[in-house]
Amino acid sequence: MDNSSDAHSRHRCAACYRQFNRMEHLVEHMRPSHHSRHEPRCGVCGKHCRSLDALRDHLGFGASLPSKPACATAFQAHGCPLCLAVFPTSAALRAHCAACKLSRAPIPSSVQSLTRTMSRMGVRGGGGAVALGCKMVGGGSDGTLDVCARVCVVDEHEAILYESFVKPLIPVTHYRYESTGIRPEHLRDAPTVKQATRRIQDILLNGEQSYYSSRGAARLLVGHGLEHALDALGMDYPAHLRRDTAAYPPLMKTSARLMSNSLRYLTRSCLGYDIQTGGHHHPYDDCVAAMRLYKRMRAMRDQHGRSKDNDDDCTAKAFPSIGLQVSTSE
């Protein structure tokens, strides 16, 4: 049989461009692949990639060899190293990169007084998403049990809605001061975990009596490793309202198993700045980084023609809530 006619008779996946001899094999491929608008696409050939790391491999960005040299050549000329978009001219690329590369947000001064002021005023803010970040100290006999001792919640504009030290339910055996900056005196008069949780739930409910209210005013909860943070706070939150950057496939590692990248790596590779680089780590940094990642991925998804106002169900399905290994390395 002629090779060209054989190539034309094969069945190609319209998303990842894999080819199959039989239509049933293509159908079997499509069922578990879950191709969607959430998948990063090559700005040159349009191929869907499983993750941003896979797209970097496709483009030959970094140390990897490109799987398609033509795409790599175009990317080297006019590609953004952060969001991996490709532009028609150098001028367009420069204009884009000026806005795409972010800098670390300064931690607001007098955070505690601001929180108390907002609490007294009953500030709720608008709807949308909020990001949660926690700092853990050590509990248990060897200090390896993670216990929440500081919590922060910010809105989509990176304004702090709640920030406080938290008094753990069990004795602290290792304050991890080198990274947390937390001392015993910080926790002495701090709110209990139950009190902090009640305040966070009030922010998340946003005036609703239930997360499942027909009004749909409850907020989306953004974070990195949300399952771990919620467990430490003794909280539960509906899976369809969670947006976990550690469990979002396009932000995960390229491997047979679903493995999370660290927040530090994602911030550097996708946003263009560093966090958790040394000294004391503030949960505000983690909140802002997770929120920025969420907003960036949402914007990339919307570029493929789907309105974010009608995408809640599709987005929730792309955030698996179980069976994922979260990397804690920085």
Q: At what angle do helices 69-78 and 90-100 cross, to 10 degrees?
A: 70
pLDDT (tens digit, 9 = 90+) per residue, 291-303?
999 999 999 887 7
Q: Is the pLDDT of residue 222 over 50?
A: yes
Q: Is the pLDDT of residue 233 over 80?
A: yes
Look at residue 64 in the predicted model and tell me its pLDDT: 62
Question: 162, 181 in Cβ contact below 8 A?
Answer: no
Q: Is the pLDDT of residue 328 over 60?
A: no
DSSP bridge partners of 12: 19
Look at residue 122 in the predicted model and tell me its pLDDT: 46
Q: Is the pLDDT of residue 259 over 60?
A: yes
Look at residue 204 in the predicted model and tell me its pLDDT: 95
Look at residue 1 in the predicted model and tell me its pLDDT: 42
- What is the pLDDT averaged over residues 269-289? 94
CATH classification for the domain delimited by 111-317, as one of 2.70.98.50, 3.30.420.10, 1.10.645.10, 3.40.50.300? 3.30.420.10
Distance CA 6, CA 204 (A): 57
Look at residue 80 in the predicted model and tell me its pLDDT: 96
- Which one is predicted more confidently, 265 or 211? 265
Look at residue 207 in the predicted model and tell me its pLDDT: 82
Q: How would residue 63 be classed by pLDDT, with cut points 50, 70 and 90?
A: low
Q: Quote the tokens at residue 273.
A: 């700045």
Q: How would residue 304 be classed by pLDDT, with cut points 50, 70 and 90?
A: low
The mean pLDDT value of the chain amounts to 84
pLDDT (tens digit, 9 = 90+) per residue, 261-272?
999 999 999 999
- What is the pLDDT averaged over residues 202-217? 80
pLDDT (tens digit, 9 = 90+) per residue, 41-53?
999 999 999 899 9
Q: How would residue 32 be classed by pLDDT, with cut points 50, 70 and 90?
A: confident
- Which one is predicted more confidently, 264 or 112? 264
pLDDT (tens digit, 9 = 90+) per residue, 121-144?
444 555 689 999 999 999 999 999
Q: Is the pLDDT of residue 215 over 80?
A: no
1-5, 226-230, 255-259, range with greatest mean pLDDT: 226-230
Q: What is the 3-state secondary structure (H, E, C) of the chain?
A: CCHHHHHHHCEECCCCCCEECCHHHHHHHHHHHCCCCCCCECCCCCCECCCHHHHHHHHCCCCCCCCCHHHHHHHHHHECCCCCCECCCHHHHHHHHHHHCCCCCCCCCCHHHHHHHHHHHCCCCCCCEEEEEEEEEEECCCCCEEEEEEEEEEECCCCEEEEEECECCCCEEECCHHHHCCCHHHHHCCCEHHHHHHHHHHHHHCCCCCCCCCCCCCCEEEECCHHHHHHHHCCCCCHHHEEECCCCHHHECCCCCCEECCHHHHHHHHHCCCCCCCCCCCHHHHHHHHHHHHHHHHHHHHCCCCCHHHCHHHHHHCCCCCCCECCCCC
- What is the pLDDT averaged over residues 182-195? 95
Strand 11-12 vs strand 145-155: parallel, antiparallel, or unpaired? unpaired
Distance CA 175, CA 217 (A): 37
DSSP bridge partners of 153: 132, 162
Q: Is the pLDDT of residue 175 over 90?
A: yes
